[in-house]
Amino acid sequence: MSDAPPPIRVLVCDDQALVRTGYVTIFSAQPDMEVVGEAENGHEAVQAARRLRPDVVVMDIRMPLLDGIEATRQLAGPGTDAEAAPKVLVVTTFNVDAYVYDALRAGASGFLLKDAPPAELVNGIRTVARGEALLAPTVTRHLIGHFAEHLRPADTARPARQDVVRALTPRELEVLQLIAEGLSNAEIAAAMFITPETVKTYVSRILAKLALRDRVQAVVLAYRTGLVPGTP
């Protein structure tokens, strides 16, 4: 009997049949992935995801009837079950900051451009399936400089901040702040003089305690509650 983990169940959502076919070909060739369905618009994406329960939804932004951002919000946004919600990897031709912000706020776990090499797309699926980093740390740091402007804490953020502080140990708070600054696990380990494995443990505890799906939500929470003040 094989001890190999089950394949990552992938749903491909794009309004262009040629693009969907390309994705299906690439992802189906991976031994650890299974394409469970396709959708050509946002409505189909939401319905298919709820029916097929994929692990990862590869989501285009500009689609008819319902765009990818709203579809993402319905599948993984605020108010959805973090345990049951699929991870959403947004893949688009539009390298526009507003799309990135909107996608992250809607609950996306990753954001890549369609011209990314196939290996990067495949690794992106594996990354979000593990609940790990949204983007490469250097890209995360670049985005945070802009993203923080959209996430300045409101006057109502203080109670949320107090909840976070009470939920986490001082060490976990330190890890959360470093995540929000865009550091990788290896960089956090070096900064805190601990092993990368220990960092992974801390990250898992933080996500569990705060009912967060992945590091993206951790970054958003850290900025919205003022745990990371100002713009980096």
Which among 99, 130, 161 is the end of a domain? 130
Domain containing 50 — which CATH number? 3.40.50.2300
Q: What is the pLDDT of residue 191?
A: 94
Tell me phi and psi for residue 166, to 5 degrees. -70, -35
149 band by pLDDT with thresholds 50, 70 and 90: low
Span of 58-62, 149-153, 166-170 with lowest mean pLDDT = 149-153
- Let me know whether 126 and 178 are in one domain: no
Residue 136 lies in a domain: no
d(CA 182, CA 87): 20
Non-local CB neighbours of 84 within 8 Å, separated by 6+ positions: 53
- Let me know whether 15 and 116 are in one domain: yes
Residue 73 lies in a domain: yes
Non-local CB neighbours of 211 within 8 Å, separated by 6+ positions: 82
Non-local CB neighbours of 134 within 8 Å, separated by 6+ positions: 104, 109, 110, 111, 128, 140, 214, 215, 216, 219
In this predicted structure, the answer to whether residue 220 has a pLDDT above a threshold of 80 is no
**Helical residues (DSSP H) of the chain, grouped into ranges:** 17-28, 42-52, 68-76, 97-106, 118-129, 137-150, 157-167, 170-180, 185-192, 196-209, 215-224
- Let me know whether 75 and 107 are in one domain: yes
The number of folded domains in the chain is 2
Helix axes 68-76, 42-52, angle to 10 degrees: 30
Residue 137 lies in a domain: no
Which among 96, 130, 164 is the end of a domain? 130
Q: What is the pLDDT of residue 192?
A: 94
Residue 140 lies in a domain: no
H or E element that contains 130:
none
Q: What is the pLDDT of residue 151?
A: 53
For the segment 173-194, the average pLDDT, to the nearest whole number, is 88
16 band by pLDDT with thresholds 50, 70 and 90: very high
- Let me know whether 126 and 159 are in one domain: no
- Let me know whether 126 and 13 are in one domain: yes
Angle at 32 between CA 200 and CA 120, to 5 degrees: 70
* Residue 176 lies in domain: 147-224
- Let me know whether 20 and 109 are in one domain: yes
